[in-house]
Amino acid sequence: MATPEQEFILYVIGSCQEALDRKYAAAPISVRLSKQAFIQLALRSGVAKKQERALYKNMQNLEERKFIVYENKHLTLTGKGHKWYEQVKKKMGPYLLASRMIDTNVIAFMDKAPTMFKNL
């Protein structure tokens, strides 16, 4: 089993791979995520509460357990890692969908939105 931090790492790597594949689907190139870019993304997003060294250790553990592979300076999910990513994605899917729907327009999903004056 992966720790919550390792699930986060797998989810971010898998999501980045999917986003890059979608963006460059028509182009004759393949773009992948580097370790350094992943660490910067994780730290800047504020989601990773660990320090850089702890993220590297978690990534090393995932690499040893054959969830991710690091070759040619690129991170890639292995078959085992992709399977785990799909499980995490399936578990998180309903939450992410609800969040996206609320962000786009919560009022559009309500028949009658109750309104009231704020207490000032």
**Residue 115: per-residue pLDDT:** 63
What CATH number does residue 78 fall under? 1.10.10.10
Domain for residue 9, yes or no? yes
pTM equals 0.75
Task: Write down the residue that tokens 């773009």 correspond to.
Answer: 31
Q: Which domain holds residue 69?
A: 4-90
* Paired tokens of 30: 């393949």
Residue 104 has pLDDT above 90, yes or no: no
Domain for residue 119, yes or no? no
For 29-48, the DSSP string reads ----B-HHHHHHHHHHHS--
**Whether 20 contacts 65, CB under 8 Å:** no
Taking residues 86-98, what's their average pLDDT? 87
Domain for residue 34, yes or no? yes
Q: What share of the chain in percent tops pLDDT 90?
A: 18
Domain for residue 102, yes or no? no
**Residue 8: per-residue pLDDT:** 84
Instruction: State the total domains in the chain.
Output: 1
3-state SS, residue 75: strand
